[in-house]
């Protein structure tokens, strides 16, 4: 009886430990499986990007080889000796020697000329036992493409040399019509050798899915899949691939690029079009190392997870034993948290107050910037006002004279002109008051043509006095942005006056503002005839107190960018432009 009781007591003490071990094992296995899936997907994604990059490199190598030869038929078609031979069907042996030299220098597989009937009359291998001279190639598609369509490209196995290559053909004509076809054969042995130096598999297939080039020569003239019997018979009739059986390659390529190779291994595939009609480049990077690394990392992570989980369970057991002490610690912690919360509330209040002071200071700087700008343009505005005042005096004197002559209608006309001039003066002074007033104003839908009207009043005479051409857009009244009028005018005036100062001394200076709409935004480009901003200071343009002007404070652009950010827009310097360009973006309403 005592033994039974002892056993039960032992089981009760051991049971939590066994449960903990079971929980650790189950959680570790689940974690390892989920983490392995994650690492596997990550490795596949990385390999997919790397495979695409490697495929582009392989393709560039092939494209450079093709581009090297594509101009050769066109050049040869203008060769006088070749034209003479095709007209007379008599070939000077020196022509064959010249073609042989050209073939060696360019690296072409062969160069040969076909007459009207498709018979080779001259060839670079004329002095070799396997000479093409005298052979009938009228059945070859590259001859028919050249003769009927003026030129073509056709990949095939050589009927004499038994070496595969791409045949480039071009029709040669004289005043009486076609006289023959020149053919240049490209052999890709060098390309395939370069591909073999990589650990990956690369091959090119044509429109029928037949492998034409391959880093593995044993795969040449295999097919990606089964080819229709009628099409296969047509290929064999043309002797395109000799007696090749065109058997399927037995690889499976998933839409994601994950590929099961012939030996059952995993690889990542990328497919790119080749600049030859119907050709595609397939490139496969093996995945075994990446997947093996993912599995090893998952196993290591599972072991670490089990260790951490064991420590956590141990800590949990210790916490249960020390429950009372934990309760006291919790109460003390809550007290400290309450005190810290109070301190944080005071800190937040202080930060809010500091932010308000910052905003107020920024608005003071913006107001000072506007007043400084007004000082710059005051002379131009005075001229704008003096002109209508002088006109008013003239019309008033005329009206007095008309009244003395008992001509009230002419006097009334002069008085109406006086009213128009006073309206002009009123619009100028109202614009100055609005531009100079303190305060941020409201932000909301704003007709952008009103902004340009105000800017035109403020700066146009300054540009005329400096003899600098200013081009401002005239948007319709329906085009609106989300902004505040005074501060948006401030940004534009600041940028325009900066541009004016930069180009004032040039021989033919100009400043141009262009407006564009792009995906719900209004884009304003302020460009001047300057040659751009020195790259050494371009990164500091929008920093406070950074300036290139003598005596400047360096706050204008900094304030302008802050204003644009508050409108939900941007202000940036575009360094890639040939001239000096600042770009503003605003939300369209």
pLDDT per position as a tens digit, 389-425 = 656 776 677 778 778 887 888 878 878 768 766 765 6
User: 284 lies in a domain?
Assistant: no
User: 546 lies in a domain?
Assistant: yes
DSSP 166: E
3-state secondary structure 490-552: HHHHHHHHHHHHHHCCCCCCEEEEEEEEECCEEEEEEEECCCCCCHHHHCCCCCCCCCCCCCC
- Give the three-class secondary structure for 260: strand
Contact present, 486 and 435 (Cβ < 8 Å): yes
Which CATH number fits the domain that encloses residue 525? Answer: 3.30.565.10
Which CATH number fits the domain that encloses residue 111? Answer: 3.30.450.20
- Give the three-class secondary structure for 112: strand
Domain that holds residue 363: 346-439
Q: Please give the Cα distance from 113 to 119 (Å, whole number).
A: 8
User: 387 lies in a domain?
Assistant: yes
Q: Please give the Cα distance from 10 to 3 (Å, whole number).
A: 10
pLDDT at 120: 92
pLDDT digits (tens, 9 = 90+) for 283-321: 999 888 888 888 888 888 888 888 887 888 778 878 887
Torsion, Cα 420 425 428 430, to 10 degrees, reads -100
Among 187, 217, 252, the domain-final residue is 187
The Cβ of residue 28 has, within 10 Å, a number of other Cβ atoms equal to 20
User: 296 lies in a domain?
Assistant: no
User: 32 lies in a domain?
Assistant: no
pLDDT at 514: 95
Kindly state whether residues 144 and 75 are assigned to the same domain: yes
CA distances from 28 to 32, 314, 315 (A): 6, 16, 18
Kindly state whether residues 99 and 118 are assigned to the same domain: yes
Among 419, 439, 459, the domain-final residue is 439
Kindly state whether residues 451 and 420 are assigned to the same domain: no
pLDDT at 524: 95
Kindly state whether residues 431 and 488 are assigned to the same domain: no
Kindly state whether residues 435 and 458 are assigned to the same domain: no
Kindly state whether residues 404 and 487 are assigned to the same domain: no
Among 163, 187, 211, the domain-final residue is 187
User: 282 lies in a domain?
Assistant: no
User: 243 lies in a domain?
Assistant: no
- Give the three-class secondary structure for 192: helix
pLDDT at 167: 93
Tokens for 312? 């956590």
Kindly state whether residues 411 and 511 are assigned to the same domain: no
pLDDT digits (tens, 9 = 90+) for 334-353: 888 888 888 787 888 777 67
- Give the three-class secondary structure for 222: coil
pLDDT at 431: 54
pLDDT at 442: 79
Kindly state whether residues 361 and 468 are assigned to the same domain: no
- Residue 483 makes CB contacts below 8 A (sequence gap 6+) with 443, 446, 451, 567, 569, 586
Kindly state whether residues 385 and 452 are assigned to the same domain: no
The Cβ of residue 111 has, within 10 Å, a number of other Cβ atoms equal to 26
Helix (H), strand (E) at residue 138: none
pLDDT at 425: 64
**Total of domains in the chain:** 3
Measuring CA to CA, which residue among 417, 49, 396, 463 is closest to residue 257? Answer: 49
Contact present, 121 and 93 (Cβ < 8 Å): no
User: 98 lies in a domain?
Assistant: yes
Tokens for 304? 């670490």
Kindly state whether residues 390 and 453 are assigned to the same domain: no
Tokens for 249? 């390659």
The Cβ of residue 30 has, within 10 Å, a number of other Cβ atoms equal to 12
| End-to-end Cα distance, the chain | 89
Provide the whole-model pTM.
0.48
Task: State which residues of the chain have pLDDT below 70.
Answer: 1-5, 7, 9, 11, 14, 352, 354-391, 394-395, 417, 420-421, 423-441, 538, 545-555
Kindly state whether residues 101 and 135 are assigned to the same domain: yes
Kindly state whether residues 573 and 464 are assigned to the same domain: yes
Phi, psi angles (nearest 5°) of residue 190 = -65, -40
Tokens for 400? 């007095």
């Amino acid at each position: 009886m005592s033994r039974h009781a002892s056993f039960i007591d032992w089981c009760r003490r051991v049971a939590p430990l066994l449960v903990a071990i079971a929980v650790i094992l189950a959680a570790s296995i689940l974690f390892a499986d989920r983490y392995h899936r994650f690492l596997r997907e990550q490795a596949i994604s990385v390999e997919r990007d790397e495979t695409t990059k490697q495929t582009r490199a392989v393709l560039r190598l092939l494209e450079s080889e093709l581009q090297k030869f594509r101009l050769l038929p066109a050049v040869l078609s203008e060769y006088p000796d070749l034209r003479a031979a095709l007209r007379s069907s008599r070939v000077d042996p020196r022509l064959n020697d010249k073609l042989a030299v050209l073939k060696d220098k360019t690296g072409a597989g062969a160069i040969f000329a076909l007459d009207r009937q498709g018979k080779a009359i001259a060839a670079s291998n004329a002095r070799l036992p396997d000479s093409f001279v005298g052979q009938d190639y009228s059945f070859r598609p590259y001859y028919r493409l050249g003769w009927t369509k003026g030129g073509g490209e056709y990949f095939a196995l050589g009927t004499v040399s038994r070496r595969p290559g791409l045949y480039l053909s071009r029709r040669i004509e004289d005043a009486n019509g076609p006289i023959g076809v020149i053919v240049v054969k490209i052999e890709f042995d060098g390309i395939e050798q370069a591909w073999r130096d990589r650990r990956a598999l690369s091959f090119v297939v044509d429109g029928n899915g037949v492998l034409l080039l391959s880093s593995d020569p044993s795969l040449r003239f295999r097919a990606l899949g089964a080819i229709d019997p009628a099409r296969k018979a047509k290929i064999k009739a043309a002797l395109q691939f000799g007696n090749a059986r065109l058997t399927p390659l037995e690889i499976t390529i998933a839409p994601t690029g994950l590929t099961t190779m012939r030996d059952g291994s995993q690889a990542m595939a990328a497919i790119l079009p080749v600049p030859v009609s119907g050709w595609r480049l397939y490139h496969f990077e093996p995945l075994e190392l990446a997947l093996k690394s993912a599995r090893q990392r998952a196993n290591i992570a599972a072991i670490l997870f089990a260790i951490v989980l064991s420590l956590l369970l141990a800590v949990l057991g210790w916490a249960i034993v020390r429950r009372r002490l934990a309760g006291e610690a919790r109460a003390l912690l809550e007290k400290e948290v309450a005190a810290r919360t109070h301190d944080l509330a005071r800190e937040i209040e202080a930060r809010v107050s500091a932010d308000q002071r910052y905003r107020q200071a920024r608005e003071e700087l913006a107001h000072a910037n506007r007043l400084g700008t007004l000082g710059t343009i005051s002379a131009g505005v005075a001229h704008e006002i003096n002109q209508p005042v002088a006109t008013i005096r003239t019309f008033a004197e005329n009206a007095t004279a008309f009244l003395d002559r008992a001509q009230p209608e002419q006097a009334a006309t002069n008085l109406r002109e006086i009213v128009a001039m006073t309206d002009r003066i009123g619009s100028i002074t109202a614009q100055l008051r609005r531009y100079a007033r303190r305060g941020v104003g409201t932000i909301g839908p704003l007709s952008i043509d009103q902004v340009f009207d105000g800017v035109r009043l403020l700066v146009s005479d300054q540009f005329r006095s400096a003899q600098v051409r200013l081009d401002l857009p005239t948007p319709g009244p329906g085009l609106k942005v989300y902004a505040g009028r005074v501060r948006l005018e401030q940004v534009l005036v600041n940028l325009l006056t900066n541009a004016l100062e930069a180009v004032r001394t040039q021989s033919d200076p100009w400043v141009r503002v262009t407006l564009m709409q792009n995906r719900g935004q209004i884009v304003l480009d302020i460009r001047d005839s300057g040659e751009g901003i020195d790259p050494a200071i371009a990164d500091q343009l929008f920093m406070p107190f950074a300036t290139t002007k003598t005596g400047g404070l360096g706050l204008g652009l900094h304030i302008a960018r802050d204003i644009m950010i508050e409108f939900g827009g941007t202000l940036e310097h575009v360094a890639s432009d040939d001239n000096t360009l600042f770009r503003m973006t605003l939300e369209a309403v």
